[in-house]
Amino acid sequence: MVKEITIYVEGGGNDNQRLAKECRRGFKEFFNKLGIRAAIVACGGRDKAYHRFCIGLKRNEHCLLLVDSEEPVKDKMDVWQHVFLRQGDNWNKPKNATKDHLHFMVECMEAWFMADKESLANYYNKNFHRNVLPKNTNIEDIPKSTLMESLKKATRDTTKGEYSKGENSFDILSKIDANKVIANSPYAERLRDTLKDPSKFLTPSR
């Protein structure tokens, strides 16, 4: 019998139960659209997500870690090498982890929204300025700073108000087309494929 998959995600606000609940709901609904059932653990900050994942791995959980890459990932660089070398992370790869245990939402989760601008526009509705969003169809190449600034400009005049990472992000995540994200993001496709193959989560023998 395959153990339940646990996904430790960056996001949900530190010690903020309401945001944590919204984070869990958003990711659960996103993955449900891909036919994937998993327990979502909203960890708040990225360091907390990493440390909670490490504890889960030691407990032999069927788990993975999902975080923003924060910066461009150099061509062909191993995911664990990226978070080890990135200033501010310096994460060591846990003893029993493989590359399939770590996944990125490209530079930040908001890049996924760019794969389904129609749903994003429908969410904000009137006075949403879609024309200021990045035109780059390669969503993994859009810098985090560009994403965040364009979302603020696009939403500034809407009734929901200026985009807020905590207040709006997980609700939007629950509404976008997950298959469009997969089609436009190799990292998201890699995440989907890993979740669809439970054998990749088997903890290597100690």
Query: How far is it, in rounded angstroms, from Cα 160 to Cα 181?
Result: 24
Residue 101 confidence (pLDDT) above 50: yes
| pLDDT of 16 | 80
45, 78 Cβ separation under 8 angstroms: no
Q: In the predicted model, what is the mean pLDDT of residues 15-36?
A: 92
**pLDDT bucket at 203, cuts 50 / 70 / 90:** low
Tokens 């989760």 sit at which residue?
109
